[in-house]
Structure 1
Amino acid sequence: MAALPPGVLGSLDPTSDRAVFRQIADQLREAIDKGSFAEGSKLPSESELVEHFGVSRMTVRNSLSVLQGEGLVSSEHGKGVFVRPRPPVRRLASDRFARRHREQGKSAFTVEAEAAGSRPEVDNLEVKEERPSTDISARLGAPRRVLARRRRYLLDGRPVEFATSYLPLDLARDTPIAQPNPGPGGIYARLEELGHHLDHFEEEIRARMPSPQEVKTLRLGSGVPVIHLIRTAFDTKGRAVEVCDTVMAADAYVLNYQLPAT
């Protein structure tokens, strides 16, 4: 059995009123935060932890369950417990929809993936006409029909978000926007080519726990929340031209904002 790295884990405090399994979880969490156990690395085995702390295997399992519930680690059957990757993408809200990116033929996701040094992919693409929900209809000015574009985004093969864009059908029907691949720069570039120059975006963001389907779609670990973001794009005439409903794996993103002080 391999020895634990020296000095990484200490001893238990017998005078503490904190449960033993939580003390062990605290030490492992601190070691992860300090980088003693790097992203993707394997934690000490149950046997190693049992020997180091002098506790039962069930106590160790309870400690690891705490970390799994916090989304810090994931368990692979027959292989062990591994440190989950930290957020790889910094979502720069003040820059991601800059016109220069569209003019370069790049979508916001592509720009952010490149900045993170990751390989972007899009799958599960579906484009269809449908009747909008009450909420989406209200945000878009009450159109009776919309074009819905659904897709999932991946970084280096890992699902990190899925999104559905809703556009008024009178804007999108019989245009490149209705095609699976709308072309360089994405749908915002096509909207501007159609005369709907973008003026501003409004975003609503909240964090919550995922639904079972979201866990499956994003392959989320136990205890990992999601970021639910709804964005509305407005053109220079004040018309809402798109609503994008996005669900993001919270452990895959850092949201970065620059706000004016005046």
Structure 2
Amino acid sequence: MDTPDPTAKQRLAALLRTGITDGTYPPGTTLPKILDLAAQHGIAKQTVREAITLLEEEGLVEVVRRRGTVVRAVPEHRRITRARQVFRDERGYYFDPAAQPWIALRTPTVSWGPAPRDIAAILGVAPAAPVLIRDRLMGTPDTREPEQLATSYLPEHIARGTRLAEKDTGPGGIYDILERDLGHDPLTWHESIGSRMPTPTEATDLRLTKGTPLLRIIRRTTSPDGTLVEALDTRMSAEKYEIGYPVTRHPSAERPTP
């Protein structure tokens, strides 16, 4: 009887995982067939399938039709340096020098609707309250490779009846409108960095392989009187990107004198 064995599943997954990380199974190679692994380890075929599923969920392998289970080539991390500064070019403000050349890969969408619960809490609005949602998919202009999803959420009392709700906000975008036209000058920003697993739509948009988490940057935009005027939710592949930033000395960390 082909009965799965949870303990054997974990043992086989650990064995194959070690083989992948130590180079026994280099990227691009195919793992032994399910029947062969089952016979070699004296376990059920379903147990082997479940072990392979674990590795697939970790992003180590992918099941390719007519090839089998192929070891994935993990891309080299690209660092986005957070200099704790805001920059500006002819298009307006930007925050990541590495992302400055990116463009919208499809027409941005503008809609009214409820924000996700964590974003609603940041904005200080009820979970069901309508907010302005501006959603963008950004990527490299030459390869059209998707790099990040960026979704702005603006409270209704800030955005309703303003140019913020228009599809084309013109040069400088929403930040110039907030500062120049709506009197929230100068804006200040605060960021937090986290991660989560993607939704199916996010995984498709960013072309993520199974098991790849999102790197998530939440930016809070605040007016001089402390009003929070926007929450920006940026998501990108945690497999492709890492966040780097300089570490400077605080006055309390002066080098001791001899």
When normalised by structure 2's length, the TM-score is 0.65
Other structure's SS at 1:180 match: coil
Root-mean-square deviation (CA), in Å?
4.1
Asked if residue 147 in structure 1 is aligned to residue 136 in structure 2, the reply is no
Residue 22 of structure 2 is aligned to residue 30 of structure 1 = yes
Is 1:127 paired with 2:110?
yes
Match of 2:80 in 1: 91
Change (3 A) 1:183 1:217: same
* AA aligned opposite 2:228: A
**Aligned-residue offset at 1:232:** 0.8
- After superposition, the Cα gap between the structure-2 partners of 1:216 and 1:132, relative to the gap in structure 1 and judged at 3 Å, is closer
Partner of 1:167: 154
The CA distance in 2 between the partners of 1:20 and 1:168, in whole Å, is 51
Q: Does 1:104 align with 2:103?
A: no
Residue in structure 2 matching 1:248, options 227, 233, 236: 236
Counterparts of residues 10-21 of structure 1 (less than 5 Å): 19=11
Unaligned runs of 5+ in 2: 1-9, 251-258
Aligned-partner Cα distance in 1 for 2:73–2:95: 22
CA 1:141/1:209 → structure 2, altered by over 3 Å: closer, same or farther? closer
User: Separation in 2 of the partners of 1:43 and 1:235?
Assistant: 54
- Distance between the aligned counterparts of 1:183 and 1:88, measured in 2? 34
Alignment check: 8 A CA contact 1:110 1:120 kept:
no
Select the residue among 172, 179, 184 that pairs with 1:192: 179
1:63–1:231 CA distance, 2 compared to 1 (3 A): same
Aligned residue for 2:184, secondary structure, equals coil
- State the Cα deviation string for residues 87-129 of structure 1 (Å, max 9, x = none): 554222335x61x3x33325648842468xxx64433621123
Could you tell me how far 1:237 is from its partner in structure 2? 3.4
Q: Find the aligned partners of 2:232 and 2:81 in 1 and give their Cα distance.
A: 17
Residue number in structure 2 paired with 1:229: 217
3-state DSSP class of the match of 1:232?
A: strand
Q: Structure 1 29/239 Cα, relative in aligned 2: closer, same or farther at 3 Å?
A: same
Alignment deviations for residues 14-71 of structure 1 (CA, whole Å, 9 cap, x no partner): xxxx946633431322339xxx95xxx6224647xx7xxx957x69877765543321
**Residue 63 to residue 107, structure 1, CA distance change in 2 (3 Å):** farther
Q: 2: CA distance between counterparts of 1:63 and 1:25?
A: 10
Which amino acid in the other structure matches residue 28 of structure 1? I
Between the two proteins, the alignment pairs up a number of residues equal to 229
Whether 2:195 is the aligned partner of 1:207: answer: yes
